[in-house]
């Protein structure tokens, strides 16, 4: 019987070294306990890594600081991309052909960055369900989008049941140096939200309140972009269900619970 065709469509495949460093730092910094659970090596899936396997290799290197025995698997729908990445293979890092069906053992983390952005919004729910079905009992899906150099990004975290959080990420000094409001991250929202930045939607209200908090705390920029972010995000936390504290804010990360920003 012929093997089943991978589920999904080939992406543009563009990538660059260190493009996903901010998301990797978030994962290592906030999800280490999840990654460490269990005696057997967890499977970590990088779905749709692109034309080269560089960001998957970088992910494996960063995750090894938490748990060296991980099974990191790059999954691509394009056979030529799988072959191109195979020279990077080593113990604990491999590359396989596949799509949203995720042809691996149940995964602790499925990372899908800059993948769903190229699909229609109507296709997101089915793709999420497929990725959630690929998780082990402690697993999460990280569906995100970032800029070409990785300085701006956003990602949704889902467990096996439902979306849980939205994280927004900036290189903070760019905001103050360029006099750019934090809502610039709207252009990098995940597919489920990028068309929802309009009045009446929760994500629109979040970005509006975030810009307001940033403007009202502009004086703190005198003490540096990190001080500005801590003050602004702290004010926002009085009105929104923010997850995490100043330790993450200083890094240019803001995480909120999913329900208030979920599409109306």
Residue ranges of the chain with per-residue pLDDT less than 70? 1-3, 8-13
Convert the pLDDT of each residue in 73-94 to its tens digit. Answer: 999 999 999 999 999 999 999 9
Domain ranges, ordered by start, for the chain: 21-161, 170-261
Angle between helices 21-30 and 54-63 (to 10 degrees): 20
Whole-angstrom distance, CA of residue 40 vs CA of residue 262: 35
Whole-angstrom distance, CA of residue 127 vs CA of residue 130: 5
**pLDDT at position 45:** 98
**pLDDT at position 1:** 32
Say what the pTM is.
0.95
- The residues facing 155 across adjacent strands are 144, 167
- 84, with CB counted inside 10 A (0-12, 13-18, 19+), is middle
φ, ψ of residue 136 to 5 degrees: the values are: -85, -175
The H-assigned helical ranges of the chain are 21-30, 32-36, 54-63, 79-85, 124-133, 172-177, 191-194, 202-216, 225-236, 246-249
Class of the CATH-defined domain 21-161: alpha beta
Residue 261: how many CA atoms within 13 Å on its side-chain side?
32
Nearest to 141 by CA among 126, 151, 156: 156
């Amino acid at each position: 019987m012929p093997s089943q065709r991978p589920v999904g469509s080939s992406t543009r495949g563009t990538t660059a070294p260190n493009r996903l460093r901010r998301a990797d730092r978030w994962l290592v910094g906030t999800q280490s306990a999840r990654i460490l659970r269990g005696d057997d090596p967890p499977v970590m899936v990088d779905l749709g890594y692109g034309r080269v396997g560089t960001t998957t290799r970088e992910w494996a290197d960063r995750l090894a600081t938490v748990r060296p025995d991980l099974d990191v698997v790059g999954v691509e729908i394009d056979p030529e991309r799988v072959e191109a990445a195979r020279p990077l293979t080593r113990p604990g890092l491999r590359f396989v052909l596949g799509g949203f069906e995720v042809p691996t053992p149940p995964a602790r983390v499925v990372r899908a960055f800059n993948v769903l952005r190229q699909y229609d919004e109507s296709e997101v729910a089915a793709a999420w369900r497929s990725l959630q079905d690929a998780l082990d009992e402690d697993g999460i899906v990280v569906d995100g989008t970032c800029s070409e150099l990785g300085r701006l990004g956003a990602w949704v975290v889902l467990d096996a049941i439902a979306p849980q959080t939205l994280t927004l990420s900036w290189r903070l000094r760019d905001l103050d140096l360029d006099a750019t409001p934090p809502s610039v991250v709207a252009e990098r929202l995940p597919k489920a939200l990028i068309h929802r930045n309009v009045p009446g939607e929760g994500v629109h209200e979040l970005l509006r309140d975030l810009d307001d908090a940033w403007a009202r705390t502009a004086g703190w920029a005198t003490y540096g972009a990190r001080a500005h972010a801590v003050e602004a995000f702290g004010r926002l936390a009085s009105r929104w269900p923010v997850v995490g504290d100043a330790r993450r804010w200083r890094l240019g990360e803001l995480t909120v619970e999913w329900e208030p920003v979920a599409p109306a």
